[in-house]
Each structure stands twice: as C-alpha cells, then as structure tokens.
Amino acid sequence: MTTVALKDVSKVFSDGTVAVDKVSLDVADGEFMVLLGPSGCGKSTVLRIIAGLEEPSSGAVLLGGEVANGLPPRERGVAMVFQDFALYPHMTVGDNIAFPLRLSGLEQDSRTERVSDVASVLGIGDVLGRRPNQLSGGQRQRVAMGRAIVRRPGLFLMDEPLSNLDSGLRAELRAEISALVREMGVSTIYVTHDQAEALTMADRVAIMRKGVLQDVGTPTQVYGRP
Ligand code: ADP
Ligand code: ADP
C-alpha cells in the first residue's frame, strides 16, 4: 500500500479544455477514497494522471511520499481497472490473470499459486479454463480485477468499474470490492458518478465539479446523517 498526494494538480488539454483545476488531495495508506462527480468533471483525468497515463500541466503527484511526475506507469506500483474490461479474448481466464506476472518474470509455480489464490478470493476459481466470451459480465469484471491485483499493487485505481453491469450485480460486486480491497489493505481510489456507491464503499469521498475539488470528507461529514 502506498500514500497518494496531489498538490495543485491541473490539466489543460491542447484544445484549451481545463479538465482538472488545481486539485489537491491526500489518500492515506490503505484508505478507500471515492472520487465522485458528474460525467465530464475530470475524474478519469485525475486517475490517469496518478497512473502516469497522462502528465499534469502543472502540480505535483507524490506516491509513497516520492515525486512521481514523469515516472512511467509500470514503475508506479499502481493497478487500474476500467469499465470496459479489456480482457485478452484469445487467452483463458487463468492466462489473463497470470499475464502481468508473466511480464514481471515470476516463475510458473508461483504464477499458478498466485492466480489460484486471487481467483478463489474473487469466486472465479472454477472458470479459469474458459475464455472471456464464455463468462457473464460480472465474472468478466472479476477477472479484470484479478488481473489488476495479482501483482499486489500498492495502489488500486478503479474507473466506474460497475457502470456496465445491471443493478443487482452492481450491488453484489460493490460489497465484494469493498471486502477485497480491505482484506488486501491496498490504498484505493474509486471513481463513480453514483452517490449510492460512494456512500456504501468510501472511507472518504472527494467530490468534483467542473475540474475543481469541492469537498472531501467521510460520507457522514459530506452528507450529514441520514
Ligand atoms: P469524467 O471522468 O469526470 O467523466 P474526464 O476526466 O473524462 O471526466 O474529462 C474531463 C473533461 O476533459 C471533459 O470535458 C472531457 O471532455 C475533457 N477531456 C478528456 N480527455 C480529453 C482530451 N484528450 N482532449 C481534450 N479534452 C479532453
Ligand atoms: P501457459 O501455461 O498457458 O503457457 P502461463 O505459463 O502464463 O501460461 O500460465 C498461466 C497461469 O494461468 C498458470 O500458471 C495457471 O496459474 C493459470 N491457469 C491457466 N489456465 C488454467 C486452468 N485451466 N486452471 C487453472 N489455472 C490455470
């Protein structure tokens, strides 16, 4: 697990769009932070900046207390899950989950053990031999999460991971994700436009509007008591 600190981070795209406007935000070790706000307010851009997929126009990004500006994505110890699961269609579930371990050069026996551990935590241990097109939407999203966490990242970034699923499945996976990241103790930033998700999952919620961070606090601090 790792800490995150954004200091006055801004992003202005080449067409002049100010996607992120002087955002400062701290995420503690093992904290579950939900970044909440309407579509287009800059949430994904913040995540992409933390992951190193986008460089900020100004401001500093610190990971574990070290400046990460300019550091390539692979060297950040960060894993990211998107709403379109982006699994490799020609690979089995097991091979999809094992792929990052293979890239990192972990040997076969250790790969097999890690993949089965992660798969059993996610309840997909019985479908490791299938291909993505033989899975339900919920199973596919579990595989995508498995592939992200199998390398034991210090920071887990999720961008609307449940928005393509139906509401019953969303509620189920919401609870699973909370349990999973707390069990791993991994620091997490979870992007959503769904207030119910924010309220049920977050240690703290950061509310964004039009590129600006408006409010940060526990669900009770931000929304008051029900
Ligand atoms: P959210 O994740 O909250 O929906 P985004 O971070 O995706 O918001 O986008 C924030 C703003 O930046 C939007 O106005 C979007 O249209 C704009 N934007 C995102 N990516 C680019 C880009 N590559 N070039 C220009 N504008 C962009
Ligand atoms: P391959 O063995 O296909 O060349 P890897 O060496 O990358 O691919 O191993 C992929 C890993 O995926 C295996 O170590 C194993 O953990 C897991 N795996 C793949 N398919 C299955 C399966 N049907 N049952 C259990 N585990 C599997």
Minimal-distance CA residue to ligand 1 atom 21: 13
Q: Is 42 in the pocket of ligand 1 (CB under 6 A)?
A: yes
Q: How far is the CA of 14 from the centre of ligand 1 (A)?
A: 12
Vertex 39 angle, CA 34 and 42, to 5°: 65
Q: Which residues contact 220 (CB under 8 A, 6 or more apart)?
A: none
Average pLDDT value for residue range 176-198: 90
Give the ligand at the shortest distance from the Cα of 163: 1
ipTM: 0.73
* Contact predicate 47/27, CB 8 Å: no
Contact assessment for residue 155 and residue 4, using Cβ atoms and an 8 Å cutoff: yes
pLDDT computed for residue 29 by the predictor = 95
On whether the CB atoms of residues 14 and 43 are closer than 8 A, the answer is: no
For 42-65, the pLDDT digits (tens) are: 999 999 999 999 999 999 999 999
**pLDDT for residue 85 is more than 80:** no
Distance 43 CA to ligand 1 centre (A): 8
Q: How confident is the model at residue 221 (pLDDT cuts 50, 70, 90)?
A: very high
The 10s digit of each residue's pLDDT in 136-176 is 989 999 999 999 999 889 999 999 988 888 888 888 888 88
For residue 97, the model assigns a pLDDT of 96
Higher pLDDT, 172 or 7: 7
Report d(CA 220, CA 226) in Å as an integer: 8
The SS3 of residue 49 is helix
Q: Which of 209, 184, 200 is closest to 31 using CA atoms?
A: 184
For ligand 2, what atom is nearest to the CA of residue 97?
A: 12
Residue nearest to ligand 2 atom 20, measured at CA: 94
Closest atom, ligand 1, to C-alpha of 15: 25
Give the ligand 1 atom nearest the CA of 47. Answer: 6
Q: Per DSSP, what are the bridge partners of residue 36?
A: 192, 207
Q: How far is CA 197 from the centre of its chain?
A: 14
80 Cα–ligand 1 center, Å: 18
Amino acid letter at 166? D
Best of 6, 45, 49, 194 for a ligand 1 pocket test (most atoms within 8 Å of beta carbon) = 45
